[in-house]
Amino acid sequence: MNPTNAVTVRPATADDLEALGAMAGALVRFHHEVDPRRFMLAKGVEEGYRRWFRQELDSPEAMVRVAVGGDGRVLGYTYARVEGRDWNMLLDAHVALHDVFVAPSARGARVGERCSRPSPPRSTPVAGCAWCCTPWCPTSARSGSSRSTASARRCSR
């Protein structure tokens, strides 16, 4: 089966939290196995991520998206968040893509790529995000707000 044909990418919901926690736990374990001195592995990591993502689902500063197969199973997810100015990395306010995970059974079918593509505009755009909306700005000057105009300018650089 080619899972790419039946994949839908959508914002995550509370119904996805179980799968998100399991996938985030697998991602943490992978990082820890690769470099245990750099990446910690906390007890109860899956439950911790379920709690974290539960609060992020309603945050206008975060975006959690899932790729869902035709059978309704979550095949992967992406997690991005608006971050403030970071002097250490020399970044102004920006959107950081923190997690990309694809279930082993769906790897090689471009599920991660599809989940990472810009998506249609959200009902609550992420400020300064060139990733969450089409065209590449989260809000456009069409909405008329000074914040959206500033975001559009920031995205167009």
User: What's the DSSP call for residue 135?
Assistant: S
Cα distance between residue 53 and residue 79, in whole Å: 9
Q: What is the pLDDT of residue 39?
A: 87
Domain assignment of residue 151, given as a range: 118-157
The pLDDT, as a whole number, for residue 153 is 34
Q: From the first residue on, what is the mean pLDDT of each consecutive set of 10 residues in the chain (157 residues)?
A: 71 96 93 88 92 94 93 94 89 88 92 77 51 36 33 34
CA pair distance 23, 74, nearest whole angstrom: 9
- Cα angle 64-140-157, degrees, rounded to a multiple of 5: 85
Q: Are residues 67 and 129 in the same domain?
A: no
Structurally, how many domains does the chain consist of?
A: 2
- The answer to whether residues 21 and 68 belong to one domain is yes
Q: Are both 142 and 103 inside the same structural domain? A: no
Among 3, 127, 17, 106, residue whose Cα is nearest residue 64: 17
Do 14 and 42 fall within a single domain? yes
Domain containing 64 — which CATH number?
3.40.630.30
76 - beta bridge partners? 67, 102
pTM greater than the 0.85 cutoff? no
Domain match, 67 and 128 both:
no
Residue 39 C-alpha from the chain's centroid = 20
